[in-house]
Structure 1
Amino acid sequence: MKLHNLPLLTLLFLLPVVVNAGPIEKIAELFKKGNTHEIAAYFSANLDITLMDEANTYSKAQAEMLLDKFFKEHKPHAVKILHRISSNVNYNYAVISLVTDKGKFRITYTLKEVGKTMEIIEMRIESEKT
């Protein structure tokens, strides 16, 4: 290998360090891990959750318990971001596909900037239709 390719090779190794994942990607990765507590850190004080066919407004603590129950019943294996809207700095929206041991689920979440952080204000979890 010639030495004139060394700067390019170095840049390729450093690229993942330079690129920061946004909140959409971070939350998707937390869903893949089934990390309820870390996902709940993004919850607003009250948020709208639709889980299968039940929709309600929950406090942050109630929402965390609901999501924890979901992960105990459905162990996650993989996640894929299907759609994202992050063009507005105050609102972000994502649609992900979560593969679990009991099937695939479509999860959507809306983030709103509160103060200097993005918080989940709405989340829907439904069986993915094939």
Structure 2
Amino acid sequence: MIVLPLEGIMKNVYLFLILLTHLNLQAALRADDIIDNISHYFATGNSKELSDYFSSTVSLSILEDNNTYSKNQTEILLRNFFDKNNCRGAKIIHRMDTNANNRYAVLEIFSSTQKFRVSLSLKNFNSKFLITDIRIDKIK
């Protein structure tokens, strides 16, 4: 039987706790990154890059028009929206990213003549968060 001194055991426990804290911090940073990335693509009107974050079907509501669309259809409809509105920037208004299975974000996007509120819901699919719902409304 091998007996480790108490000092060695405590050192191993301490290292384990540091590693665990680091992994939790990394997971939290990744959660922030996805919302930041999505916000960036809305700000630049980049529907192609944004589509990498879509689930296979997306519930999409643009102004008063809403339906469930395939990933490709959603990308086309958002491209049309971005083309019409010339997005110039975005700001994250709210984010909820503490749930292991769901994320939620509210963005404000700016065009040359209008402001829009974008609500996003994301779900965890095999350790990857994908957008399942997008709602875009005018801010009056």
Mapping of residues 1-130 of structure 1, within 5 Å: 21-129=32-140
Count residues in correspondence.
111
TM-score under structure 1 length normalisation: 0.81
Q: Which has the larger radius of gyration?
A: 2
Task: Extract unaligned runs of 5+ from structure 2.
Answer: 1-28
Which is strand-richer, 1 or 2? 1
Look up the SS of the partner of 2:35 in the other structure: helix
1:70-103 deviations in Å (ceiling 9; x for gaps): 0100111111111110010210000000011230
Task: Extract unaligned runs of 5+ from structure 1.
Answer: 1-18
Report deviation, 1:25.
1.0
TM-score under structure 2 length normalisation: 0.76
Report deviation, 1:49.
0.5
Q: Distance in 2 between matches of 1:78 and 1:44?
A: 24
Report deviation, 1:116.
2.1
Q: Distance in 2 between matches of 1:85 and 1:54?
A: 26
Which is helix-richer, 1 or 2? 2
- In the TM superposition, structure 1's runs of 4+ consecutive aligned residues that sit over 4 Å from their partners are none
Report deviation, 1:54.
1.1
